[in-house]
Structure 1
Amino acid sequence: MNRRRILATGAAVALGGCTSYTSDTDDTPSSEALIRDAIERRGGMTDLEARRLIRVETTEDRAERTEAIAREPPAKQRIEVVESTDPDVPAGSVTVTNRTATWEYDPSTERVEKNYHPNKADTDRTRLVLENLLSESRLGYEGTETVDGREAHVIETRPPVDDAGPKVELVVGDTTYVMPVDVIQDLEELEVTRTVWIDDEYRYPIKERTVHTESGEVRHELTVTYRDLSIDRGLSRDAFTYELPPDATVVTDGRPPEGVFDSRTAAEAALPYELPDPDVPDAYELDRVTVVEREKSVGGTTATLWYDDPDVVARELYVAVREFQRFDPDALEEIEIDGWTAYRSDGKKRSVFWTCDDLSYEASALLQDAPLEEIAASIGCR
């Protein structure tokens, strides 16, 4: 399905900041503390349920939609569009995501797109956006307002003066919006203001608004609001089960797994090799083992052991075992671990690669504090 979510996702513009901003005073709540509270709450959140109202206004058009959403971060979500004036995301559209697949249903075409992603690393986008606001934006406290009958603290944010970015990463909704390029005529005159409402009880973002102003005129405004917000109160057992509509056409993408197992022993019954038993930090538990099989001529079998911290959202690492070498040694940093050669890659995702006994290994994590070299050493190559 075309998930434009009201806005065009083609061309985008750079968003410039303003030159000055007034920060919190001594007698008002700290914007930084409120956002830190929201980050902490997000890190321990088990589930969220709400209705989400999205409104987009430009100088030429206005569109709205209301979605019923349910989430178990970082991977599981269900979005059902119950009302919409956007023809690209009509009422009746449904998106359901779990660890291994995503279903997207477009009622206008009666078509379901099923995308397999059994080895997708899950990030907590909402937490990352909040952390970016805290570290990169200028913040100002604007008092309190009532949002859907709830008291909320209003925080106005502005990007750094030299900041530029083509996207709006939403706090209220794990979604990325791209502003159409034809909305703005003069980039040098563009000013961006983003306002976030933090719910007083939950200490969680309940509303946000991003306004793009050009030469004093509002050119684009995006507002997202949670209604009937419920956090950590439990969801129905079938919240993330997808049932195909009658007569729907199903189109699949990606490679389905041969199996998703809850133990190493169960996975090894489907594999031509034994799995390692790596030493991971005490906070981590084995969540699942995915097995994806390809023809020998293009790679063979890959088994991935996924470990996560059940008490912290999106604190995850994995160890992959492949019958083929996926990494390029010439593009990586060569290191030595216990007398054998491995290769390291740093960036948003950190990885350690090595080969041993005709198998290729990878230990990876999105978190910077994951002890990947120690994990690799516990598997070894002896």
Structure 2
Amino acid sequence: MSGPDDGRPANWLQLARILVVVALIAVSGCNVYGGSPDAESALPSQQEAADQFASLETLRANVTTVQTRNNATITTVVQKYQRFDPWSYRDRVLSINRTEGAREPLVAEGGFVVVNESTLVYYDPASGRLTRATIGGTDSSAEPLYPRLVGAARSGQPISRPTTTPGVSALPRVPAGDRSGQEGNGSTTYREGNVSVVYAGTEMIDGRETYRMELTPASSEMSLKTQTLWLDTEYLYPVKRHTRFTANGDEYEYTVTFRDVEFNPTLDPEIFRVEADEVPADARQVRFDDYESAAAMDDALDFPVPEPTVPEEFSLDSATHRTANPELVSLRYEQPNSDAQITVFVSETVANDTSGTPIQIGQYEARRMQMNGTTAITWVADGYTFRVSGQVETDTLLRVARSVAETA
């Protein structure tokens, strides 16, 4: 499923700031390139581009997304309706095809995702589950991304933050607790930086003339490897984009293509609401609630909420409670300008997994596992499963796990 990725980022539940957005400060150095005379003569000015983009109010299209992660591929086709101000969209999944080893999609064929300003709802017919969450609003003061790309191509000056989200999940971020504590979702740790932008001429995409923009990272330390955007010449919206990047040791490649695009169609506001008859009466209802801190969540819930001690350079990114299937809480901490992160889950289910290395966490017998650069420590206490995981040194994770065992 394709995300908005339009320079008007939606902040998700700071976790689930639901379905992405990781805002990292651009830190890499870069060279300054002279502007291309061809770009200067062929492209609109940045202000003209901004005016063109601002004239885009709605769109309708069929969107095909081909996602490859470590050679496992999933192809999704959705019918998309999008409104830019106030920001909202609906994606209905028309088809999904995936190879062996590819992750299960968040929403199966026949399901939908609806975002309407501060509310996200998605229905997965495979699990029979309807999920609701509150999300942050858009930053209307943010300068649109695509006109800035045009300006960078004309001037030869580098630009930071090449994409709103490195991947193309349909969501600003998949809820961290929406995979029952498993690692990985549509949002991955991603090191941003500066890129150069080169105008590569015009190209027709599904009958629309586009400006082809080639983005190249300024530093090999960045997650982004390559990105190409095909911006519609009339509205400066990407009707196709191709991205390659790495995160957490995994290689990703995305190709998103908009077909049968209609710009500024008249859309009924009801499109961005979920009607009762769209969901089976027996659908399982799940809700995500976001809290400002672990302490605030602990005060509100009759559920064990740990207060872990994390290194001082880490800050809380999200504190989320999921109501069912199973009930759980999650705390996610991130270190700015780094891939390092620590996540703490507490679930009402009892894990019986005996894999991994036995270790002692306080008075509890635990298991330690490592996979793709992530270490996870899991134990059971008082009928709940506790799990501490992250991309940090093992000794650091052990200290965090012991603090959880002491406070939960």
Bin the TM-score by the shorter chain: 0.3 to 0.5
Tell which structure's C-alpha radius of gyration is larger.
Answer: 1
